Amino acid sequence: MRRVALTGVGAHRPAHREDNTAICERIGSTDEWIRERSGIVTRGVAAPDETVVEMAASAGGKALAAAGVAPGDVDLVLLATCSMPGPLPGGSPAVAARLGATSAGASDIGAGCAGFTYALALAADSIRAGSSRTVLVTASERLLDMVDHDDRGTAFLFGDGAGAAVVQAVEGDGPDGVGPVVWLHDGAQAGLLAIRGTPLRLAMEGRAIYRWATTALPSVARKACERAGLEVSDLAAFVPHQANLRITESLVKSLKLSDAVVVARDVVDSGNTSAASVPLALARLVELGEVSTGDPVLLLGFGAGLTAAGQVVRCP
């Protein structure tokens, strides 16, 4: 079976950033309460021309450049998203066309906030099985199109943005760059987080989601490390879905991560960007130089479905 490697990451953060001020006025809250409740200070707000496809292509182009890969060499483009303007068509063919990935297959992945880690697992498996040599995995969301801006429980939580990663077949020996995935679902709790209605609006039972995330996910994280042949203490960094800083801190505590492990806290600047949050947070750590090439990083996506997927990757 082939080895795979993560060879580049890229991010598109909307130019317009918004702090909590206007949101507080609208829902009758305070900056202090929002920060205490979620850790969020600002979030990205996509402009009309920053569509899901455009942002995915922007992040994807940066990831391809970082990896030194020509678009024509991409075999498969995946797009994880839940915020395309309609159910058809998916965005991935347009992303592939936009980038000039003329030889690529293209498919959207719908796994809520776990979309990127699911797509990454499928990308790695596609390469191992011989269907691809180079896969571009993108995740892009315009969640603010779907948020109920008057809902005191959710209006402040979400943001827009896109992230991407290039996964390639590699020769030679060494640790696999994308470790075996550990995934689970809890479809019995599907109703806890949904985008539905006319117009489409996001509704979430935050406390129940918090309970699920903080109780069900530590074992996914531990198993992902175990399957990658690592102890949790071997990790250089932990990049959970940036749902809420309170969930992150609870997971850090449950996993007993030492201060030596870098923890992604991009939610503070970006809010919850659903599927885009993991690649955005990973790209931020790479940009800041907080992780180095080859470092083992645990990615953990989780959310609507309910569904979760995590794997250890080697930093590009």
> Which are the catalytic amino acids?
113, 241, 272
What is the three-state SS of 90-146? CCHHHHHHHHCCCCCEEEEECCHHHHHHHHHHHHHHHHHCCCCCEEEEEEEEEHHHC
CB of 217 to other proteins, least distance (A): 13
Contact criterion met (CB below 8 Å) for 264 and 240:
yes
Regarding 216 and contact with other proteins (CB under 8 A), the answer is no
Regarding 246 and contact with other proteins (CB under 8 A), the answer is yes
Residues pairing with 84 in the sheet:
none
Tell me the helices (H) and strands (E) count for the chain, helix number first: 9, 14
Regarding 29 and contact with other proteins (CB under 8 A), the answer is no
**CB-nearer residue toward other proteins: 100 or 153:** 153
Stretch of 9-17, 122-130, 165-173, 206-214 lying at the interface with other proteins (CB under 8 A) = 206-214
CA distance 148 to 162: 21
Q: How many residues bind other proteins (CB under 8 A)?
A: 12
Regarding 148 and contact with other proteins (CB under 8 A), the answer is no
**CB-nearer residue toward other proteins: 107 or 214:** 214
Q: Token digits for 110?
A: 């719908």
CB of 244 to other proteins, least distance (A): 8
Which of 215, 219, 258, 292 is in the footprint of other proteins by CB under 8 A?
Answer: 215
Contact criterion met (CB below 8 Å) for 119 and 92:
no
Stretch of 47-55, 129-137, 204-212, 218-226 lying at the interface with other proteins (CB under 8 A) = 204-212
User: Looking up tokens 């779907």, which residue turns up?
Assistant: 146
Residues forming contacts to other proteins in the complex (CB under 8 A) are 36-37, 205-208, 210-211, 214-215, 246, 250
